[in-house]
Amino acid sequence: MEPIDLRNPDVLRHTVPDLQPMQAFLEHPLIFDRAEGVHLWDVDGTHYYDGLSGVFVVAVGHRNRRVIDALTAQMERLSFSPPLHGTNTQAVRLSALLASLAPGDLNVVKLLTSGSEATETAMKLARQYWKQAGAPTEYRVISRYYGYHGATMGAMAASGTPRRRVPFEPLPTGFVHIPTVHCYRCPFSREYPACDVFCAEYLRQVIALEGPETVAAVIMEPIGNTGGILVPPPEYLPRLREICDALDVLLIFDEMITGMGRTGRMFAAETYGVTPDILCLGKGLSSGYAPLAATIWSDRIQEAFLGPADAGLEFGDAHTFSGHPLAATTGLACIAEILERDLLAHARALGERLETRLLAMGERYGVFGEVRGAGLLWGVELARDPTSKAAFPDDVAMGHRIGREAQRRGLILRHDPHWLAMAPPLVTTPDELDAMCDILEQSVAWALDEL
């Protein structure tokens, strides 16, 4: 390969990074070069702990030997198969495995390549299902403010933050938003548990007002990422399930982040004991070794797609790379890694250690309003005064200050002006976790000193 000057703006201007101001990238490009386990190195040889698993992706760690060997062997055997004529052994294997792992009667699996595709597929499935199940007026999709379901037009229409939507409007119609669950800063100004999870109950009113005969599905992340790892109280998801059942609306869980062991069970659906009608996976499903996502649906939905072979009952959703044999291979290897190394139990135990460290930091520095999470998915909502819940002024952007300092000290975190999130790989050792927490702690101390 020709040598290339990776610092030269004339070279970098051809590259568009995700969600970063182009100029900032040109001035301070962070270009990763190699990785191992929970460690990353950039092109200058600077070391970083991957405290976010890339972006909630690298569950089984970087340079995982099982995944690399499986991929290499599969490349020698079959790298692509004609998707319009059939599928391939690896796609069939992974679909059957996911069906056996998914709760309830979630038994039908469409393999895809990105989270956006998986959520769009789920919403398209819900609409086509109702058309074929005798309720053709059901098309609306209800989702939550703060939710994020992807970057394609339909997924964005369901997403609930203006920054991700407004630049691209008008978006597809037929999408309705409701406030999310956020017990620390309740959108209805109520207090849990006296509120009796009014935010869930509100869905019943919205479906009634939109017209139950027009609503196809409700889509949500069991734990919301945007807003700072928004963990629902135990009654919330069961109540939503009850409302969807009562009003015959499909419930879709977007488990892009919470799936594949992140909450200490294979799916958050199990963590909360609620089975959706459609479950979307991505990110940790392949740990990033290949683009892979999945939409899994129930036998009940599938019934509307079964009938005589000449009845034209196909699901009208096709992607060139769906069921890609290399991607499916990574899924199989990652699941084997999670199950055989019991990374679910490890995530639960390590998650407790992380929670303990975060709570101790909160005590010591007095600016952690709330620490919330499950398994190895944790968020910290920052507050200038945790007693009154007063936030830091927006222009202080305390979360960014801490997050950027952590990065300077060698830890990759998710940070927003008012919150931070940590989600290290499921293979992280206690010592590695402690090292990450030490950097976070030093960064909090630094940010407060600098104020």
Ligand X SMILES: Cc1ncc(COP(=O)(O)O)c(C=O)c1O
Q: What is the DSSP string of 300-365?
A: HHHHTT-S-TTS--------TTTT-HHHHHHHHHHHHHHHHTTHHHHHHHHHHHHHHHHHHHHHHH
| Locus of tokens 């939503």 | 240
What residue is closest to ligand X based on CB?
115
Q: Whole-number minimum distance, CB 255 to ligand X, in Å?
A: 8
376 or 383: whose CB is closer to ligand X? 376
Rule CB under 6 A: is residue 114 a binding residue for ligand X?
A: yes
For residues 328 and 85, what is the distance between their CA atoms, to the nearest angstrom? 18
Cβ pair 226, 183 in contact under 8 A: no
Single out the segment in contact with ligand X by CB under 6 A; choices: 109-117, 190-198, 229-237, 411-419. 109-117
Residue of 29, 54, 61, 150 interacting with ligand X (CB under 6 A)? 150
Rule CB under 6 A: is residue 251 a binding residue for ligand X?
A: no
Which secondary structure element, helix H or strand E, spans residue 388, and what is its range? none
Helix, strand, or coil (residue 272): coil
Rule CB under 6 A: is residue 288 a binding residue for ligand X?
A: no
Rule CB under 6 A: is residue 74 a binding residue for ligand X?
A: no
Which secondary structure element, helix H or strand E, spans residue 120, and what is its range? helix 115-132
Rule CB under 6 A: is residue 149 a binding residue for ligand X?
A: yes
Rule CB under 6 A: is residue 116 a binding residue for ligand X?
A: yes
Q: Whole-number minimum distance, CB 18 to ligand X, in Å?
A: 8
Q: Whole-number minimum distance, CB 309 to ligand X, in Å?
A: 33
Rule CB under 6 A: is residue 256 a binding residue for ligand X?
A: yes
288 or 399: whose CB is closer to ligand X? 288
Single out the segment in contact with ligand X by CB under 6 A; choices: 63-71, 114-122, 194-202, 308-316. 114-122
Q: Whole-number minimum distance, CB 324 to ligand X, in Å?
A: 14
318 or 345: whose CB is closer to ligand X? 318
140: Cβ contacts below 8 Å, ≥ 6 apart: 174, 175, 176, 210, 214, 215, 216
Q: Whole-number minimum distance, CB 71 to ligand X, in Å?
A: 19
Contact map string, positions 220 to 239, toward ligand X, x by CB under 6 A = -x---x--------------
Rule CB under 6 A: is residue 257 a binding residue for ligand X?
A: yes
Token duo for residue 348: 């639960």
256 or 383: whose CB is closer to ligand X? 256
Which secondary structure element, helix H or strand E, spans residue 379, and what is its range? strand 377-382
Whether omega for the bond prior to residue 170 falls within 30 degrees of 0, making it cis, is: yes
Whether omega for the bond prior to residue 193 falls within 30 degrees of 0, making it cis, is: yes
91 or 229: whose CB is closer to ligand X? 229
282 or 362: whose CB is closer to ligand X? 282
Rule CB under 6 A: is residue 276 a binding residue for ligand X?
A: no
Helix, strand, or coil (residue 291): coil
Cβ pair 260, 59 in contact under 8 A: yes
Phi, psi of 444 (to 5 degrees): -65, -45
- Which residues of this chain interact with ligand X, rule CB under 6 A? 114-116, 119, 148-151, 221, 225, 254, 256-257, 282
